[in-house]
């Protein structure tokens, strides 16, 4: 009749983008008469923030304020082809396509400004605040609005750009499995603390300490969103959810949220996150996609922590009180290991 604490560790990497490649994304960027830009995509925002991250990427690349950019998605009549939002591909593929399209639009805008200022486009820079000026001579400047108006109504230029990003499809060897799966990987490590009640078998996850390497935190708020929400889903996967509690038998499959269990706001574990950034050489501003790998390390860390707490190894997910109790019974009781105790470093 005791509560035992335990700590478990796991570490992973995760492939970024659709396996084997062959998954293109396209973007179109164009300016309205006043130098405000629309990014036309057919990418899908599931909540992961596709519209927002592509907006930041476009604004950065165009050299204009965020407020002057709007991302419009998804309409198959106006948005060019995108493979879809899955496989942690969105930021990486669509981000790169948006960069390419934005670079083209930007170059036209600079040509227009150069013509108005009677300089070479190579002498110009944007300040990110809505102005284009000669490098080293900030007073020789023109607003992006004026440049756009001049381009479209006087010079006859379209301030527009197209982009596509495609990693060519890789082959797969039937006999060795040789392949080029993806070009970049994200990484994570996780240490989870649990409390196990050896009388009821209940496991409470009481703390999570993680490190996630995401290439570049393009928007730190959205990165944190993903990591917190994803780790929650990992926790849920480890110890709450299943559509088939008696797999491979199909009986008693849940049909509502009363029986399909997920941790609620009262079940949360404090989650202390460290974000590392090692930019992907081919990522947009080095960005990888944290959206999937955030959940994965929690699952093994939880079962490892249970072993550390009571000496019971669980080999089947999800963790349930019944499985813990059966394990305790088979072991003749709790046999704490507690091998990962916190020490002064």
Partner 1 sequence: MAKKPVSFTHNGVETAAFADPGQNLLEFLRRGVGDLTPKYGCGQGTCGACTVTVDGEPHLSCLTLAESVEGRSVGTVAGLANGATLDPLQEAFMDHFAAQCGYCTPGMLVAARVLLDANPNPSLDEVIEAISGNLCRCTGYEPIIEAIMAVANGSYGSAGRAAL
Partner 2 sequence: MNDMSNMPASKGILGLQNPQIEFRKDLFADERDENLNEIGKPVRRQDIEGHVTGRSPFYDDHLFEGLLHMRYVRSPHHHARIRRIDTSAAQGMPGVVRIITSDDVPANMNTLLSLLDFGLDDEPVLSDKKVAYVGEPVVAVVALTEAQARAAVKAVQVDYEVLPHVLDPEEALKPGAPTVCDVYPGNAFVYHGKYNHQKLRYGDVETALKSADHVIETRHQMSPIEQAPMETCGAIAAPEQNGRYVCYSGTQGLFFSLGTAAKVLNMPSSRLHFIGGTVGGGFGGKVDSIHEPLAILGTVLTGKPCKSQWDREEEMQVGAPRGAERWYITDGVMNDGRIVARKFTGYFDAGAYTRLTSYAVIKCVGHLPGPYTIPNVSADVYCVYTNRTPATAMRGFGVTGVDFSIEAHMDQIADTLGMNPIDLRILNAYRDGDMKAHRRTAKNCAFIECCQVVAEKAGVTIKPESKAASSMKDGGGERGQLPAFTATDENGRVEGFEGWSYAKKGGGSATTGSVPSTTTPTPASLPQTPQPIPQPASPAPVTPAPQAPTPQVQSPSPAPTASSPKRRPPTRFSSISGFRRR
The residue (of 156 and 281) whose beta carbon lies closer to partner 2 is 281
261 contact, one of partner 2, partner 1, none, CB 5-8 Å limit per kind? none
CB of 61 to partner 1, least distance (A): 24
80 contacts 27 by C-beta, under 8 angstroms: yes
Residue 298 in 3-state DSSP?
helix
CB of 222 to partner 1, least distance (A): 7
Does 112 engage in binding with partner 2 (CB under 8 A)?
Answer: no
The residue (of 140 and 153) whose beta carbon lies closer to partner 2 is 140
Site mask for partner 2 (CB under 8 A), range 36-55, x = bound? -----xxxxxxx-x-xx--x
Instruction: Of 74, 82, 73, give the one whose Cα is nearest residue 23.
Output: 82
Does 47 engage in binding with partner 1 (CB under 8 A)?
Answer: yes
Q: Which of 301, 319, 324, 334 binds partner 2 (CB under 8 A)?
A: 301
CB of 211 to partner 2, least distance (A): 4
306 contacts 336 by C-beta, under 8 angstroms: no
CA 5 to chain centroid, in Å, comes to 32
CB of 86 to partner 1, least distance (A): 15
Q: Which of 2, 34, 199, 316 binds partner 2 (CB under 8 A)?
A: 316
User: Is the N-terminal amide bond of 248 cis, ω within 30° of 0?
Assistant: yes
Residues 6+ apart with CB under 8 A from 77: none
274 contacts 211 by C-beta, under 8 angstroms: yes
* Number of residues this chain uses to bind partner 2 (CB under 8 A): 177
Give the H or E element holding residue 303: helix 298-310
The residue (of 71 and 159) whose beta carbon lies closer to partner 2 is 71
The residue (of 156 and 177) whose beta carbon lies closer to partner 2 is 177
Q: Which of 81, 154, 252, 335 binds partner 2 (CB under 8 A)?
A: 81
Using the structure block, give the residue that is written with the tokens 């404090």. Answer: 270
Report the C-alpha gap between 205 and 237 in whole angstroms: 12
The residue (of 221 and 332) whose beta carbon lies closer to partner 2 is 221
Question: Which residues are paired to 161 by β-bridges?
Answer: 29
Site mask for partner 2 (CB under 8 A), range 129-168, x = bound? ------x---------------------------xxxxxx
The residue (of 63 and 201) whose beta carbon lies closer to partner 2 is 63
Instruction: Of 130, 129, 128, give the one whose Cα is nearest residue 143.
Output: 130
| DSSP conformational letter for 80 | P
Three-state secondary structure string covering 192-231: EEEEEECCCCCEEEEEEEEEEECCCCCCHHHHHHHHHHHH
* Number of residues this chain uses to bind partner 1 (CB under 8 A): 23
Binding site for partner 1 (CB under 8 A): 46-49, 221-222, 224-225, 228-233, 256-258, 262, 264-266, 268, 271
């Amino acid at each position: 009749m005791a509560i035992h604490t335990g700590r478990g560790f796991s570490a992973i990497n995760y492939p970024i983008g659709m396996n084997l490649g062959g998954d293109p994304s396209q973007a179109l960027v164009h300016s309205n008469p006043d130098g405000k830009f629309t990014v036309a995509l057919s990418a899908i925002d599931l909540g992961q923030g596709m519209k927002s991250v592509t907006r930041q990427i476009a604004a950065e690349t165009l050299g204009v304020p965020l407020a002057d950019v709007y991302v419009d998605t998804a309409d198959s009549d106006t948005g060019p082809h995108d493979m879809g939002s899955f496989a942690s591909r969105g930021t990486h593929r669509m981000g790169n396509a948006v960069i390419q399209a934005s670079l083209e639009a930007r170059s036209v805008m600079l040509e227009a400004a150069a013509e108005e200022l009677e300089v070479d486009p190579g002498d110009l820079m944007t300040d990110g605040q809505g102005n284009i000026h000669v490098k080293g001579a900030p007073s020789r400047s023109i607003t992006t609005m004026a440049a756009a108006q001049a381009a479209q109504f006087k010079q006859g230029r379209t301030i527009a750009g197209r982009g596509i990003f495609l990693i060519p499809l890789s082959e797969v060897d039937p006999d060795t499995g040789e392949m080029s799966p993806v070009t970049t990987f994200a990484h994570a490590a996780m240490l989870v603390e649990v409390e196990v009640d050896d009388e009821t078998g209940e496991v409470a996850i009481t703390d999570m300490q993680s490190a996630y390497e995401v290439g570049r935190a393009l928007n730190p708020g959205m990165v944190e969103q993903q990591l917190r929400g994803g780790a929650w889903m990992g926790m849920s996967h480890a110890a709450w959810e299943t559509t088939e509690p008696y797999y491979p038998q199909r009986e008693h499959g849940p049909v509502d949220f009363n029986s399909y269990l997920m941790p609620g706001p009262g079940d949360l574990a404090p989650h202390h996150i460290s974000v590392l950034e090692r930019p992907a050489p081919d990522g947009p501003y080095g960005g990888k996609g944290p959206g999937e790998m955030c959940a994965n390390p929690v699952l093994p860390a939880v079962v490892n922590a249970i072993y550390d707490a009571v000496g019971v190894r669980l080999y089947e997910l999800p963790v349930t009180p019944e499985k813990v109790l059966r394990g305790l019974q088979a072991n003749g009781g709790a046999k704490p290991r507690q091998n990962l105790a916190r020490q002064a470093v």
